[in-house]
């Protein structure tokens, strides 16, 4: 048993005030990750500040034609929201590829962003882990690292960020709205999660005293040419070995705009702007797609048991781009492919 206090925040200002007054406290939303971590003695917050009653559960259109998604919107409600299904189907697909229906009913958007890695050593307090205990060492380097990162790794940590939703949010170039004792600010999605470097315990650029209030999607949703491809050990209820989110736009037969993000390969959803730029003006087809994949994986590094992911990621990128180009995210035949 660990002792901790519990209180319910009555409004956003109260949530921030309580957090500021109690260093070492944590917000709790669906609890599907944090409570597990507490049960396993990995996280020991002195206080849980329950944010589930805050009015952050709406999906609203913005004046610029985008969408504002409250931090407490459950993953399942978001996946099935008509505006998301119609305008941002890559986000629906990614959400529905994650966890199970029961978990998605509980899991919040804010909690999904901040879910922690699934590295087995991180959860096993009997083993060294720099993320859990800075300076202790990394058991996964040279250990069981089949699920681990191949891009953006460091000597300190090779863990991956396990979210599916975040890979789609990277492609959509979402913004994260937060509030803290110093006021409100917005964080571009590409700056939200961090690479491990020598501080793997710091996973995001969110302050410990800041609350996520919403995610904002810009108007561009890639509703016609998109895909979310998740490769995993079994067809459901498993984290990604590699996942790929794609959004494409065409001008006649040529690619006019391309976005590509990978999950399961790094400490953050992985985008490579050079690879995206390489697709512009090209005809959709395996030559262009393979070139983009090679750029993405140019600096990939395996650690033994996960080295297979480099080839797997290359194939997954090519397949995901092909599916998106066809406008048939899960299908195989098409005329557009050269
Ligand atoms: C068995 C299992 C399988 C899973 N499979 C997948 C999968 O395949 N793909 C996938 O993407 N995910 C998967 N998940 C993870 C799941 O999506 C996350 O646990 C969930 O999204 C976390 O949301 P939550 O609301 O429950 O967060 P919580 O557990 O309540 O909180 C998680 C973290 O976020 C913080 N937090 C929560 N809300 C806020 C806020 N508004 N502002 C600031 N901080 C906040 C908390 O303090 C905590 O640190 C799985 C989980 C389980 C248990
Ligand atoms: S990969 Fe990261 S989380 Fe896993 S043992 Fe190493 S330091 Fe810990």
Q: Is 211 near ligand 1, meaning CB less than 6 Å away?
A: yes
Kindly give the number of the ligand 2 atom that is closest to the alpha carbon of 138.
6
- State which of 123, 143, 159 you would mutate to test the pocket of ligand 2, scoring each by most atoms of that ligand within 8 A of its C-beta: 159
Residue 95, SS3 per DSSP = helix
pLDDT for 66: 98
Q: Measuring from atom 3 of ligand 2, which residue has the nearest CA?
A: 122
Ligand found nearest the CA of 155: 2
Question: What is the SS3 assignment for 92?
Answer: helix
Ligand 2 atom closest to residue 148's alpha carbon, by position in its atom list: 1
Shortest-distance atom of ligand 1 to CA 239: 8
119 Cα–ligand 2 center, Å: 6
Dump the DSSP string for 241-269.
Answer: SEEEEEEEEEETTEEEEEEEEEESSSSS-
Res 2: pLDDT:
83
Render each residue's pLDDT in the chain as its tens digit; 338 residues.
789 999 999 999 999 999 999 999 999 999 999 999 999 999 999 999 999 999 999 999 999 999 999 999 999 999 999 999 999 999 999 999 999 999 999 999 999 999 999 999 999 999 999 999 999 999 999 999 999 999 999 999 999 999 999 999 999 999 999 999 999 999 999 999 999 999 999 999 999 999 999 999 999 999 999 999 999 999 888 999 999 999 999 999 999 999 999 999 999 999 999 999 999 999 999 999 999 999 999 999 999 999 999 999 999 999 999 999 999 887 444 434 44
Residues with CB under 6 A from ligand 2: 117, 119, 121-122, 129-131, 138-140, 157-159, 200
For residue 114, the CA-to-ligand 1 centroid distance in Å is 6
In short, whether 239's Cβ falls inside 6 Å of ligand 1 is yes
Tell me the sheet residues that pair with 188.
175
Q: At what angle do helices 308-326 and 286-297 cross, to 10 degrees?
A: 140
* CB of residue 160 inside a 6 A radius of ligand 1: no
Question: CA 144, CA 150: separation in Å to the nearest integer?
Answer: 14
Say which DSSP state 176 is in: E
Indicate which atom in ligand 2 lies nearest the CA of residue 132.
Answer: 8
pLDDT of residue 335: 38
Burial of 39 (0-12, 13-18, 19+ CB in 10 A): exposed
For ligand 2, the distance from its centroid to the CA atom of residue 157, given in whole angstroms, is 5
DSSP, collapsed to helix, strand or coil, labels residue 239 as coil
Ligand 1 lined by 103 (C-beta under 6 Å): yes
pTM of the predicted model, to two decimals?
0.97
């Amino acid at each position: 048993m660990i002792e901790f206090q519990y209180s319910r925040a009555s409004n956003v200002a109260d949530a921030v005030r309580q957090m500021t007054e109690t260093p070492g406290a944590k917000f709790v939303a669906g609890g599907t990750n944090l409570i597990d971590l507490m049960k396993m003695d990995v996280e020991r917050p002195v206080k849980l500040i329950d944010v589930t009653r805050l009015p952050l559960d709406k999906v609203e259109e913005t004046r610029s034609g985008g969408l504002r998604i409250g931090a407490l919107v459950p993953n399942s409600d978001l996946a099935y929201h008509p505006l998301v299904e119609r305008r941002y189907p890559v986000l629906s697909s990614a959400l529905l590829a994650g966890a199970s229906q029961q978990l998605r009913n509980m899991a919040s958007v804010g909690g999904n962003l901040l879910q922690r890695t699934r590295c087995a050593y991180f959860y096993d307090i009997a083993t060294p882990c720099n993320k859990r205990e800075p300076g202790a060492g990394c058991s996964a380097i040279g250990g069981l690292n089949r699920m681990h990162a191949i891009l953006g790794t460091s000597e300190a940590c090779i863990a991956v960020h396990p979210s599916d939703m975040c890979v789609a949010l990277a492609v959509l170039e979402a913004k994260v709205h937060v509030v803290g004792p110093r006021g409100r600010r917005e964080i571009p999605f590409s700056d939200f999660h961090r690479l491990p470097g020598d501080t793997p315990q710091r996973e995001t650029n969110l302050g410990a005293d800041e609350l996520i209030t919403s995610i904002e999607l810009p108007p561009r949703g890639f509703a016609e040419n998109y895909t979310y491809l998740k490769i995993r050990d079994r067809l459901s209820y498993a984290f990604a070995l590699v996942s790929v989110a794609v959004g494409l736009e065409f001008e006649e037969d040529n690619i006019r705009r391309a976005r590509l993000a990978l999950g399961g390969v790094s400490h953050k959803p992985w985008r490579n702007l050079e690879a995206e730029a390489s697709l512009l003006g090209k005809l959709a087809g395996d030559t262009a797609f393979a070139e983009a994949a090679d750029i993405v994986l140019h600096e990939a590094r395996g650690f033994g048991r996960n080295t297979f992911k480099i080839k797997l990621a290359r194939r997954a990128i090519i397949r995901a781009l092909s599916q998106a180009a066809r406008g048939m995210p899960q299908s195989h035949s098409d005329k557009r492919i050269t």
